[in-house]
Structure 1
Amino acid sequence: MRKKVSVLIPAYNEAKYIFQTVAAVKKIPEVDEVFVIDDASTDNTSELAKKAGAEVLTLRENHGKGGALNKGIALATGDVIALIDGDVGETASEVRKLIMPVIEGKADMTIARFPKAKKKGGFGLVKGLARNGIKLLTGLEMAAPLSGQRAMTREVIRAIGRFSSGYGVEVGLTIDIARKGYKILEVDVNMTHAETGRDLRGFIHRGKQFMHVSKVLARRLIMR
């Protein structure tokens, strides 16, 4: 029996990329439904997502990435659920490389491993924190601990219950799934996204990431 595939795209002010992202996902043969969760954007993210063919849930208040996904997951009816960031644009077509191993039963969750960044971002503090925390709590060595591009079974979604809040969602997801004994597979993809640079905006973003990831790891450490 063919497995149904749902794609969730949390988005906040992604008008620059969301049309291309949705359009690329819609062309994937295995994808049955695409949902954009507009996290109270102040631009025309919702309108462009609808124009590209997505079903859109527009939130009145900003819930953060994890909160937006928790709102969106109730809409998805697929046996396989894929998560994609709104800023990957045309390279969103590469998510098929994540979906297929899950459909074929080779993994319970796949994680996208991006090519090396084209410009300098941070100093690796958030990624290092995430990688070391995951290893400490699960024993897994992850090359892409912060990657938001993932695919997983419906069973995995049921097992974790809810996504962690904020920017700690990916780290919390990896730890929770690994602790329950599910198989995780990192997959090389030729994807790109809007990279943050070494400017004030970039450092503020990574500062928030660091705090959110720290909270997720502390919570899991206590629950250990």
Structure 2
Amino acid sequence: MLDRLQEMKTPSLKNQRIAVLLPCRNEALTIAQVVAGFQAALPEAKIYVYDNRSTDNTAEQAAAAGAIVRYERIPGKGNVVRRMFADIEADIYVMADGDNTYEAAAVNRLIQFLLVEKLDMVVGARRETAKDSDAYRPGHR
């Protein structure tokens, strides 16, 4: 896939409305890193953090990092995801977690693949490597 992508003309993201959606609950320790990673990878994107009843300072950390912070008071990730897609209008949506387990720098390859192949959706997955054996929590492999 990546070889074929490198051979093709890369479409411009200039006229694309890109929204990075980050559902969060108690991610204060990592959310600023996640926001910074997506800001670096996609400077043209708007980054939204949806706080779902955090008891730490997730929202404050996200706002200080430059994210647009919104709230979903009904508990549960499914409720947050529904709220995000109901609220935000974009041409391209990127959804990741706020716990810094996804490599933000990989997002451009995923978006380019989406555009070049004229797809509706691309799903990225973490891969466990020898140096990073904590890609998945126990029971989530």
- TM beyond 0.5: yes
Residue 25 of structure 1 pairs with residue 32 of structure 2? no
Which aligned pairs between 1:96-135 and structure 2 lie closer than 5 A? Answer: 96-116=108-128, 118-119=132-133
Equivalent residue number for residue 44 of structure 1: 57
| Aligned sequence identity (%) | 31
Q: What is the distance in 1 between the residues matched to 2:69 and 2:117?
A: 29
- Give the letter aligned to residue 59 of structure 1: E
Equivalent residue number for residue 137 of structure 2: 196
Distance 1:101 1:31, change over 3 A: farther
Asked which structure has the greater CA Rg, the reply is 1
Q: What is the distance in 1 between the residues matched to 2:41 and 2:127?
A: 21
Q: What is the distance in 2 between the residues matched to 1:29 and 1:196?
A: 27
| Structure 1: 5+ residue stretches without partners | 121-192, 198-202, 207-224
Q: What is the distance in 2 between the residues matched to 1:30 and 1:91?
A: 16
- Give the letter aligned to residue 86 of structure 1: G
Equivalent residue number for residue 129 of structure 1: none
Q: What is the distance in 1 between the residues matched to 2:16 and 2:32?
A: 26
* Alignment root-mean-square deviation, CA: 2.3
Distance 1:36 1:19, change over 3 A: same
* C-alpha deviation, 1:16, in angstroms: 1.4
- List per-residue Cα deviations over 1:151-206 (Å, max 9, x = no partner): xxxxxxxxxxxxxxxxxxxxxxxxxxxxxxxxxxxxxxxxxx5x423xxxxx6xx6
TM-score after normalising by structure 2: 0.75
Residue 71 of structure 1 pairs with residue 83 of structure 2? yes
| Structure 2: 5+ residue stretches without partners | 1-13
For the 8 Å contact 1:7–1:83, the answer to whether it is kept is yes
- List per-residue Cα deviations over 1:11-43 (Å, max 9, x = no partner): 111111111001111122464211111011111
Q: How many residues align?
A: 125
| Bigger share in helix | 1
For the residue of structure 2 that corresponds to 1:48, the secondary structure is: helix
TM-score after normalising by structure 1: 0.50
